[in-house]
């Protein structure tokens, strides 16, 4: 009788072990709410040209309100995503290397505008003591904090466009000046020639 009881106990233990192994082998299924959130996180990274990841530490509701207000003035949105879901959503994408940034208390600031002044955004991060910019992606280039700060110091796209236009228009202006100078020289020479001919007659 005791042998039968031991055999049953052993079999039930084996069954439990097998069940846990089977659970481990099965792919994890997420509820629909989490699946939608995974899609939203991936979409945030794929559809926005600038995505900045930052740590925050014990921000009060008023401080959150202030930083959101400052960012909205610069046309930047802020979202907090669960770290596990953020890491999962970045798996097997070009942004896989950003997974390691999603530790502790993290949030994402993002926008899809080329006219955003990145220098002002970096200033907002640096002026808020409980917030630390740690990295992100700009135009599909992954960057750390230092690279983002260096990138923000580059001249704006409009400024570069203006410089390019002035450089391209310089040869045209010089050509126009040369043609006008030659015209005026020719007309002066012709006037002088006519005067000389009039005097000779």
- Higher-confidence residue of 22 and 56: namely 56
At residue 176, the pLDDT reads 65
Structure tokens at 53: 């990841």
Sign of the C-alpha dihedral computed for residues 110, 111, 114 and 118 taken in this order:
negative
Mean pLDDT of 135-163: 84
Mean pLDDT of 62-71: 91
How many Å from the N-terminal Cα to the C-terminal Cα in the chain?
Answer: 150
- Higher-confidence residue of 1 and 64: namely 64
User: Does pLDDT of 199 surpass 70?
Assistant: no
Q: Render pLDDT for 76-127 as a digit per residue (tens, 0 to 9).
A: 999 999 999 999 999 988 999 999 999 889 999 999 887 788 889 999 999 8
Structure tokens at 89: 């959503």
Q: Is the pTM of this model over 0.75?
A: no
At residue 31, the pLDDT reads 81
- Higher-confidence residue of 63 and 181: namely 63
At residue 3, the pLDDT reads 61
């Amino acid at each position: 009788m005791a042998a039968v009881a031991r055999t049953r106990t052993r079999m039930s233990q084996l069954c439990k072990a097998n069940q846990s192994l089977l659970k481990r082998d099965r792919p994890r299924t997420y509820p629909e709410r989490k699946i939608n959130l995974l899609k939203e996180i991936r979409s945030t990274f794929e559809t926005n040209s600038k995505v900045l990841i930052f740590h925050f530490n014990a921000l009060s509701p008023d401080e959150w309100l202030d930083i959101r207000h400052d960012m909205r003035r610069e046309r930047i949105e802020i979202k907090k995503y669960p770290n596990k879901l953020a890491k999962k959503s970045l798996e097997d994408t070009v942004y896989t290397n950003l997974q390691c940034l999603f530790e502790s208390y993290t949030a994402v600031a993002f926008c899809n505008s080329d006219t955003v002044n990145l220098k002002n955004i970096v200033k907002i991060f640096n002026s808020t003591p409980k917030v630390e910019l740690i990295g992100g992606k700009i135009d599909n280039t992954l960057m750390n904090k230092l690279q983002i700060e260096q990138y923000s110091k580059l001249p704006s796209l409009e400024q570069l466009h203006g410089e390019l236009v002035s450089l391209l228009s310089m040869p045209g202006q010089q050509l126009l000046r040369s043609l006008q100078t030659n015209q005026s020289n020719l007309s002066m020479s012709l006037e002088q020639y006519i005067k000389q001919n009039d005097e000779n007659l």
